[in-house]
Amino acid sequence: MAKELTRKEREHQARKDEILKAALKLFAQKGYYQTSISEIAEAAEFSIGTLYGFFKNKEELFFTMFRGVLEEIAGEVQAKMAEAGGPREKLKALIESLFGYFEHRYEAFDILFAARKDLDPALKDEMGETIHEMQLTFQKNLVAIIQDGINQGIFRPLRPEEMALTFMGLVNGSAFMWIESGRSYSIRERVPEILEIFYRGVEK
């Protein structure tokens, strides 16, 4: 059972969240190097001194925000999959919740998709390791769902690891095309098509 936070701890977390929320919006709008600590403090309505009481520098702030976005996405996806029934329903829940997050939180998606090109090597490496960890967890969950489908006779008995990578490729490719189009359409509307392409290769 998680320890209940004290009032002081809740207030501290609320202030930290306000800073991260302001930083996310500015980083998405202006980019990492173009955004200053003073601008973040002003947007969050805190003094610079207060901000440094939460984060020692902009790099730490950015990485905390970045990890928080990944954890939020993972939490939403896991919750939706837990509510779903069989393997097909879980895959649908996975991609619908993921794309739904991208549409409603497009600033966060911009950070995940494009921010690393603008960062120094050390921060890129740290972010890369975090993304890699999340991708491995994502892939492991996919493999388990697909293996369950194979066991039930829903999917062909192919290598579940390769099938999971194929699914991830379809998801990543669709997200890339959506960004390149300038979000000119609803990415959630592409879910049935993506699933159809995948199932044509794995269903019996």
The per-residue DSSP string of 43-102 comes to HHT--HHHHHTT-SSHHHHHHHHHHHHHHHHHHHHHHHHHH--SHHHHHHHHHHHHHHHH
- Tell me the C-alpha distance between 25 and 42, whole Å: 13
- Tell me the C-alpha distance between 37 and 61, whole Å: 9
Q: Mean pLDDT by 10-residue block, N- to C-terminus, for the chain (204 residues)?
A: 74 92 87 88 93 91 86 89 93 93 80 60 71 85 95 93 93 88 90 91 58
Q: Nearest CA to 51 among 62, 40, 59, 67?
A: 40
Length of the chain: 204
Q: What is the pLDDT of residue 122?
A: 64
Give the CA dihedral 173, 174, 179, 180, nearest 10 degrees: 70
Q: What is the pLDDT of residue 153?
A: 94
Q: What is the pLDDT of residue 204?
A: 55
Q: Nearest CA to 24 among 77, 71, 55, 68?
A: 68
Q: What is the pLDDT of residue 124?
A: 66
User: What domains can be seen in the chain, in order of their start residue?
Assistant: 1-56 (1.10.10.60), 62-202 (1.10.357.10)
- Where does residue 121 rank: exposed (0-12), middle (13-18), buried (19+ CB within 10 A)? exposed
Tokens read off for 108 = 């966060």
Query: Structure pTM?
Result: 0.79
Q: What is the pLDDT of residue 3?
A: 67
Q: What is the pLDDT of residue 15?
A: 93
Q: What is the pLDDT of residue 59?
A: 86
pLDDT for 87-126, tens place per residue?
Answer: 999 999 999 999 998 888 877 777 766 555 555 666 667 7
Q: What is the pLDDT of residue 172?
A: 87
Three-state DSSP state, 155: strand
